[in-house]
Structure 1
Amino acid sequence: MSQATTQQATEQLESTFVAPARRLGALNLDYTEKLVAAQFDAVRALTDLGLSQARGWLDVRDAEGLKKAVDAQQKASQDMGERLRGDAEKIMSLSQEYVRESQKLAEDGIKAATPATK
């Protein structure tokens, strides 16, 4: 095999298989990084909220303290619900973006492979 033929085969292999696989790997890694970061943020926020509530209950000494703790608990439950809803929307958005990008990569791969098969 001549050097020109070898070079052409290498370039075709790179553009048809290696580059798309590299782009897909980068997409997967980016998605995983964003997803893990969102999960860590959610866990941290909910843990902080839970610990704050536990500390609030430790301060209950009388009826007024109990009323404050119950009110704080209701507010915390409301805040937690809003936070969970926002986190779910964020993860859904990340997933939709991932699907769009992977579909685009698949389409690009098909377009790149079509001339190579002719």
Structure 2
Amino acid sequence: MYTEMFKSFSEQTEKSLAPYVKFNKLFTKNVEELTELQLAAVRAYTDLGLSQLKAVSEVKDVQSFAEFNSQQLETLTKLSQQLIDDSNKFTAVAQSFKTEVEELVAENVKQATPA
């Protein structure tokens, strides 16, 4: 008697907590993707900054200064493109998360609404 009651209670609890478990897994996946993107972005910006420090340390005369300045437009273009790419990646992750949460909510509303 008690075994069946506990089994029933356990099944009902598991069923009622299933949406929370799905959301937590979805949220964790999203945080993981965002963290990976942020680490990649930090790595890229750090590499760019270090390359600029190395380039400026090579300036020794007017000729090398002119070469350094001519490379700055290329560096700014590269930085702008990196910012655009990173922004697009973050937007894609956010949109994917939003879509998946909307699907989860719709599924749960459908299950909760009597037919």
Q: TM-score, normalised by structure 2?
A: 0.89
Give structure 2 stretches of 5+ with no counterpart: none
Structure 1 vs Structure 2 CA RMSD:
1.8
Aligned to 2:49: 50
Aligned residues: 115
Distance between the aligned counterparts of 2:36 and 2:90, measured in 1?
10
1:14-61: CA deviation from partner (whole Å, max 9, x where unpaired): 122x11111100111110010011011111101110110111011111
The alpha-carbon distance between structure 1 residues 89 and 78, as it changes in their structure 2 partners (threshold 3 A), is same
TM-score by length of 1: 0.87
Segment drifting more, 88-97 vs 70-79: 70-79
Identity %: 30
8 A Cα contact 1:27 1:98, kept in partner: yes
Q: CA shift at 1:11, angstroms? A: 1.7
Summarize the alignment of residues 1-118 of structure 1 with structure 2, pairs less than 5 Å apart.
3-16=3-16, 18-115=17-114
Q: What stretches of structure 1 of length at least 5 have no aligned partner?
A: none
